[in-house]
Chains A and B, each alone.
Chain A
Amino acid sequence: MSLELNTIRLAIRLSEGEHILLDNFSLTVASGEIVSIMGPSGCGKSTLLAYLCGALAPETASGSSSEINASGTISIDGCDVTNMAMEKRKIGLLFQDDLLFPHMNVEENLAFALPYRLSKNERHHRISEALAAAGLSGYKKSDPRRLSGGQRARISLMRTLLAEPRALLLDEPFSKLDSRLRTQIRDFVFTTIRERNIPALMVTHDRQDCSERIIELHRSEAGETTYD
């Protein structure tokens, strides 16, 4: 498995012309590899993630996102997903907020991500496995709002992985955690991604969080325009 970006171009539409955030950007992320993208706010890293996951795809370009011109191909394992709807791309997302659904308990949050038409035993088995991997075996029936930040972050990763993504995008996943937890969770996330052999792209502005391969983006010339 690998994630390939080819000649990506992102620009903010202005009343006259456009403000280019990213031009002719190409990158290949291998399976199990975690690539970090760093840069100050406004350099276009969040826009890049939005484009990759499909929030900026041409057919959903409406509302606020229509202010962006985006082009370039995205392929996973050689399969072009550029024009696919977000839900068809099988790209997992991890945000700084864990976004566990408050109307479901931990087990249900995980079950939500499982593929359709699995047998009852199989579902049960996979959920238990995921909880065990996260070190939270006893928390099946817990209310996610009662869990600590670290616990929620681990459940969130497990939920993303249960959907069997072909690639992972991480948007400043550790920025809301305190420094002690941060190291612990980062190690957990990185180890898990490598174990599962999934290509992952992470956006961050903290060098501490970075993995082995780092790409630094810089604000372009007309850097006064802030887009985040």
Chain B
Amino acid sequence: MINSTSTSTSSYAARSYSSRWAYLASRGVYVIPWLFPLLTAIGLAGIILPAFGWLPALGYNSFSLAPWQQLLATPGLWTMILTTLFTGVGATLLSLLLTMVFLISSWNTRLWKLTGRTLPPLLAIPHSALAIGVVFLLSPSGIVSRILAVPMDWLHPPDLLTVNDPWGLGLIFALVLKEVPFLCLMLIAAVSQTPIERLLTTGRSLGYSHLQCWLKLVWPLLYPKIRLSVMIVLAFSLSVVDVSLIIGPNMPPLLPVQILQWQQDPDPALALAAAAGALLLLLLVGLCMACWLQLEKVLTSGLRGWLTGGYRGRSRSILITSGRLLFSGLLVLAWISLIVVVIWSFSWRWRFPDIVPSDISLRAWIRFFPGMLEPLQTTITVALTCSVVGVLLSVFCLEYCHRLSRWQQRSIVFFFYLPLLLPQMSFLLGIQTPLVALHLDGYWWTVAACHLLYVFPYCYLSLVDPWQKYDQRFSHAGLILSGSRVRTFLKVKLPMLISPLFTALALGVAVSTALYLPTVMAGAGRYETLTTEAVALASGGNRRLLALYAVMQMLVPMIFFGLAIAVPRLSSLRLSSLRLSSLRLSSLRRNHSPPKRSTHES
């Protein structure tokens, strides 16, 4: 009955207009499942062929194993591989462990709520900016050492290997500081879908201690929900370049950094070695993931006995208090390092062992800011374009993908996330090879397109949940009233989802601002963003300037996140009439069943 009403009240023109659009869009959606596999195939071919000696763009027209011989002859190759594995796996394990500690020790406490609020801005800060902060914090002349200087009676910085150390411990620390917030935020989302309180009560009424309940009942249910995020962290940590350039080992560097250096070497033979290295890195990441997943299986079956053995644990564990301390300590360190970055940008003279700068001034800002305008402009234009396109594409996919078959939908989602699960260095090198061959590198839109590969999955990821929670009955009601799908979508659904949409936009901007390799690989050196500039400056000695770039790197995403919170609130004033009508709808509906949550919590 409802449907017949909708067709009879709608005007013919509006209906044909909307249905034509719907038709075109529904055709377009069939392209998407093939787009990403195609890109992946190109990316793979772009490293596999050169890795075996075939790269016509540089004059290599026959297959050979020479690139591998060259790769294997690299001094320190094994050290490189082992350190890469150690830092990548170490950072992931440690991040996961700390996330678990955070969850167990802080759930439903003030710290939990505080973390929920302080993490998103921390997450929006680019990795490289945080790494710069960690350098300012931990290096032998850093703030920690300055604080220790008085009690330890140090006149000069201690000759210690704290950053750029050969084991990559500094790198692990910087990665952990950035990945823990990411995993925690993913976990907070997963927690909201799990009846933790009930599980804990049940467990404890059966005599299990708090900690045992978490380990045996809650964690096994939560972990599968963040497994994808853990894999993303693993792939990222194993192939990170920018953070590694700033704080990682350099004698020898990590494998991804070495690949970048080979790729940029004038000797064309090294471009082939870079491809071989990229393929090796891809295999290493694949191997690590396979091992990780296998280990999970072994652990689940191996720990069955422990799980059901009836061990109740002691009532109060020291782990809970110390975990809370550890986690708050980590948060505080992250914030201190960011504050130190800000102070550095305003200091003209700040010698060891001064705890505060001896000469604070705006000179660095006045002097260097004009030179920053260009990278700032590139950063913002690329970031905004990507996130707008990313959000539009995500909305398109969310609206139309349900028309595809189930396996097509699954494969789409898998391929969306693929750029995040593949090592950046390998994937981008593979994409860059055809770009160079087709003379497509060095254009603004190429840079933006490469950014989109990484921005899109995050936009999509952040919109999936609000889209699923949206109650379709609002749209049905809108359709009855307006008779037009397009108008219903624009006037009912979009305004109701405005907040998550803006959050997705800001997230896109944050992701794009942080990207280093896509700019370097696709920009042919012609486009600089705040991040590429900051990484280049990290090898120089001007800390104020470096700090200035890091501050700008932080400001851009934060400003956009601020806007993402403010704009929907402002526009809600304008849309108040719409809201009112939707409220009426919801109160009507309330008679039948309790309303589902329709808007995303920001």
Contact = CB atoms under 8 A, between A and B. Distances in A.
B574 interface: no
B202 A63 contact: no
B204 A86 contact: yes
Contacts of B206: 87, 92, 112-113, 159-160, 163
Contacts of B468: none
A85 B207 CA distance: 9
A104 B309 contact: no
Given A62-B108, A85-B315, A108-B308, A92 B199 contact: no
A86 B213 CA distance: 12
A86 B201 contact: yes
A102 B308 contact: no
B207 A163 contact: yes
B318 to A, nearest CB: 15
A111 B201 contact: no
A112 B207 CA distance: 10
Given A86-B205, A90-B207, A93-B201, A108 B310 contact: no
A90 B205 CA distance: 7
By CB atoms of chain A within 10 A, which of B204, B205, B311, B312 has the most? B205
Interface in B199-241: 199, 201-210, 216-217, 220-221
Interface string A85-125: 11111111101010101111000100111111110000000
Interface in A40-62: 53-55, 62
B109 interface: yes
A89 B208 CA distance: 11
Contacts of A163: 205-207
B336 to A, nearest CB: 28
Contact of B315 (A55, A62, A88, A111): A88
A165 B205 CA distance: 9
Contacts of B108: 62-64
Contacts of B315: 85, 87-88
Contacts of A165: 205
B307 interface: yes
B312 A53 contact: no
B308 A99 contact: no
Given A87-B312, A112-B307, A116-B309, A99 B202 contact: yes
Contacts of A91: 205
Contacts of A101: 199, 217, 221
Contacts of B195: 97, 99
B205 A116 contact: no
A115 B310 contact: yes
A92 B205 contact: yes
A104 B307 contact: yes
Main secondary structure on A side of the interface with B:
loop
Contacts of A54: 204
B84 to A, nearest CB: 34
Contacts of A111: 308-310
B198 interface: yes
B308 A62 contact: no
A101 to B, nearest CB: 6
A85 B280 CA distance: 54
A160 B201 CA distance: 12
B592 interface: no
A134 B86 CA distance: 52
Contact of A112 (B109, B204, B221, B310): B310
Contacts of B199: 99, 101
A95 B195 CA distance: 13
B597 interface: no
Nearest to A60: B210
A160 B309 CA distance: 16
B310 A117 contact: yes
A154 B310 CA distance: 21
Contacts of A90: 207
Contacts of A114: 310
Nearest to A100: B202
Contacts of B201: 53, 55, 86, 93
B408 to A, nearest CB: 27
B208 A87 contact: yes
B207 A87 contact: yes
Contacts of A89: 205
B202 A62 contact: no
Nearest to A55: B201
Nearest to A86: B204
B304 A108 contact: yes
Nearest to A127: B308
B407 to A, nearest CB: 23
Interface in A148-203: 159-160, 163, 165
Contacts of B109: 62-63
A112 B217 CA distance: 10
Contacts of B210: 87
Contacts of A116: 309-312
Contacts of B310: 111-118
B308 A93 contact: no
A160 B206 CA distance: 7
A163 B202 CA distance: 11
Interface string B106-150: 001100000000000000000000000000000000000000000
A95 B198 contact: yes
Nearest to B315: A85
Interface string B95-109: 000000000000011
A87 B202 contact: no
Contacts of B205: 53, 86-87, 89, 91-93, 160, 163, 165
Interface of A: 53-55, 62-64, 85-93, 95, 97, 99, 101-104, 108, 111-118, 159-160, 163, 165
16 contacts: A53-B201, A63-B108, A85-B315, A85-B316, A87-B204, A92-B206, A93-B202, A93-B205, A97-B195, A99-B195, A101-B217, A101-B221, A103-B220, A108-B307, A160-B205, A163-B207
5 closest A-B pairs by beta carbon, nearest first, are A111-B308, A116-B310, A93-B205, A86-B204, A63-B108
Given A93-B201, A97-B195, A116-B310, 9 more contacts: A86-B201, A87-B209, A87-B312, A90-B207, A95-B202, A108-B307, A111-B308, A112-B307, A114-B310
